[in-house]
Structure 1
Amino acid sequence: MPGLYLGAIILSGLGVALLDARWRLAAWRSPARTGVAVAIGTLFFLTWDAVGIVSGVFVKGDSPLLLGVDLAPQLPLEEPFFLAFLCYVSLVLWAAAERILSRRERADAASASLGEGKR
């Protein structure tokens, strides 16, 4: 079924965006900074792909799930969407981990200060 892979990437990206919106982790906290980071990451990985394609390391396999549109030889249309999704989900996960760790540190500090008052 052509387009299923691209549809899955877009649907997954929407799911991550909903989580991001709910917890204000990346794009809903700082849209410009998130957009720039995703764009830079996507361009970096597209460059990486181009080097891999030119050197013969990366080749596009045949799949009925792809649309069949190539942006360049061995570079399917779905690749930039996947790379942007990869960068975005990485930012959201990083922001979530930072938030969890900072809350833990604050809770530990508050617990330690309460313990000092009892002595």
Structure 2
Amino acid sequence: MPGIYLGAILFSLVGMMLIDLKYSLALRVAPVRTTLTVLISTSFFLAWDLVGIATGVFVKGDSPLFVGVTLAPHLPLEEVFFLLFLSYLAVVMVAVFERRAAARRRHGGGRSATHRAPLEESA
């Protein structure tokens, strides 16, 4: 079924955006910085792909799940959206881990004295 792979990527991208917006992780907090980071990193990975294609490292396999649009030899349309999703996912995950680290700092570093690991108690 052509287009199912692109559909899955777009579905995941929209889901990631909804999570991001609901919890104000990246796009709502810093829209310009988030957009620039995603676009720059996507461009970097596209350049990486093009170098890999030129050197023969990356090749496009045949799949009935692809739309069938190629932007360059061995570069399907789905690759651009996958790299966009991958870059956006990385930005959102960095925001999640930064928020968790800030929460731990606010609450005294996480574990209390009664929840130490056994090795910490014997020291």
Quote how far apart the aligned CAs of 1:47 are.
Answer: 0.3
SS at match of 1:27: coil
In structure 2, what residue type is equivalent to 1:11?
A: F
Q: Which runs of 4+ in 1 moved over 6 A?
A: none
Q: Percent identity?
A: 55
Partner of residue 67, structure 1:
67
Partner of residue 36, structure 1:
36
SS at match of 2:41: helix
RMSD: 1.5
Quote how far apart the aligned CAs of 1:28 are.
Answer: 1.3
In structure 2, what residue type is equivalent to 1:84?
A: L
Normalising by structure 2, report the TM-score: 0.87
Q: Partners in 1 of 2:34 and 2:21 — Cα distance?
A: 13
Q: Deviations over 1:66-101 (max 9, x none)?
A: 001100000001111100100001100110011011
Quote how far apart the aligned CAs of 1:29 are.
Answer: 1.1
Quote how far apart the aligned CAs of 1:30 are.
Answer: 1.0
Quote how far apart the aligned CAs of 1:105 are.
Answer: 1.0
Mark the runs of 5 or more structure 2 residues left unpaired by the alignment: 113-123
SS at match of 1:108: coil
Normalising by structure 1, report the TM-score: 0.90
Partner of residue 3, structure 1:
3
Q: Partners in 2 of 1:21 and 1:27 — Cα distance?
A: 7
Q: Deviations over 1:28-83 (max 9, x none)?
A: 11111111000000000000000000000000000111001100000001111100
Partner of residue 103, structure 1:
103
Partner of residue 55, structure 1:
55
Mark the runs of 5 or more structure 1 residues left unpaired by the alignment: 113-119
